[in-house]
Amino acid sequence: MIAPIGGHIRGRVEQPEETSPEAAAAEPKRSSRWRLIALAVFFVGSLVAAKLTGLDELVTVESIRAMMDSAGPLGFVAFVVIFAVGELMHVPGMVFVGAASVAYGAAIGSGAAYLGALTSVTVSFFVVRTIGGQPLAQVQRPLVRKLLARLDTHPVSTIAVLRFLFWMAPALNYGLAMSKVRFREYLLGSALGLAIPIPVAVIFFDWIIEVDVLAWLASVFG
């Protein structure tokens, strides 16, 4: 006997399992936790690598200047690249600022150090955010939210002030990268905040080189 057209086919249709709200909320936290662990491993690993290789002792004003001289026309490009890598490896930024002053003098050195500093904090931003994400954007603790409130409402001016005070400090690079600040705000604030202290530092280094500081101090206080 032929079954009538339109007859119902019996069977059970599998329904997708529903994810509970608690499980859905826990997934981003779990991912953020692993990214923070990865960032901590990167931070500690870069410190250990700098110590084991002696990079923190090998990278000096003299060695950077020698490298720039040997690179010839590409010396400036090499300077910017080493500045960015050195910042990630926790080499003090002032070493590169001093090298720019020694290699190029006050005028050109100010521009070279400024561009190198801006490039280094930019590279740090992308590396830290790529590895660690933006966990500070998810923190709900009142104290942390209060500290980040001005960064949320006035990001450019806040970053500019922080840069003016702390320059290229790795802790500042990490903190800003892990917040929800956008890159264009980070870049503009950093550009404004570094515009004064970096040239001033270069001019100071150039003055130390040009002037016999000990003789000058003796003439002033002697």
Q: What is the pLDDT of residues 101-131, one digit of tens each?
A: 888 888 899 999 999 999 999 999 999 999 9
Q: Is the four-CA dihedral 67, 69, 72, 77 of positive or negative sign?
A: positive
Task: Take residue 168 and report the two structure tokens written for it.
Answer: 């290229």
User: How many CA within 13 A on the CB side of residue 17?
Assistant: 4
d(CA 116, CA 171): 18
User: Mean pLDDT for the chain?
Assistant: 83
Q: Is residue 147 situated within a structural domain?
A: yes
Work out the number of other CB atoms within 10 angstroms of the CB of residue 100. Answer: 34
* Per-residue pLDDT at 7 exceeds 60: no
Q: Is residue 10 situated within a structural domain?
A: no
- pLDDT reported for residue 4: 52
220 vs 91, more confident: 91
135 vs 190, more confident: 190
In total, how many domains does the chain have?
1
Q: Is residue 50 situated within a structural domain?
A: yes
Residue 159 · residue 189 · CB < 8 Å: yes
* Per-residue pLDDT at 217 exceeds 60: no
> Per mean pLDDT, which range of 85-99, 138-152, 160-174 is the poorest?
138-152
Residue 23 banded pLDDT, cuts 50, 70, 90: very low
Q: Is residue 162 situated within a structural domain?
A: yes
Most confident of 15-19, 25-29, 139-143, 160-164: 160-164
Q: Is residue 21 situated within a structural domain?
A: no
- The one-letter amino acid at 66: A
Residue 173 banded pLDDT, cuts 50, 70, 90: very high
Q: Is residue 167 situated within a structural domain?
A: yes
Q: What is the domain range of residue 57?
A: 29-221
Q: Is residue 78 situated within a structural domain?
A: yes
Q: Is residue 44 situated within a structural domain?
A: yes
d(CA 73, CA 51): 31
d(CA 83, CA 91): 9
For 176-188, what is each residue's pLDDT tens digit? 999 999 999 999 9
Q: In this structure, what is the dihedral angle of CA atoms 145, 134, 32, 175, given to the nearest 10 degrees?
A: -70
- pLDDT reported for residue 53: 81
For 85-101, what is each residue's pLDDT tens digit? 998 888 889 999 999 98
Helix (H, G, I), strand (E, B) or coil at 5: coil
Per cent of the chain over pLDDT 90 is 44
Work out the number of other CB atoms within 10 angstroms of the CB of residue 17. Answer: 6
Mean pLDDT of 16-35: 63
For 46-85, what is each residue's pLDDT tens digit? 988 888 887 767 788 888 888 888 888 888 999 999 999 9
- How far does CA 159 lie from the centroid of its chain? 12
Mean pLDDT of 121-142: 87
- pLDDT reported for residue 125: 96
Work out the number of other CB atoms within 10 angstroms of the CB of residue 150. Answer: 12
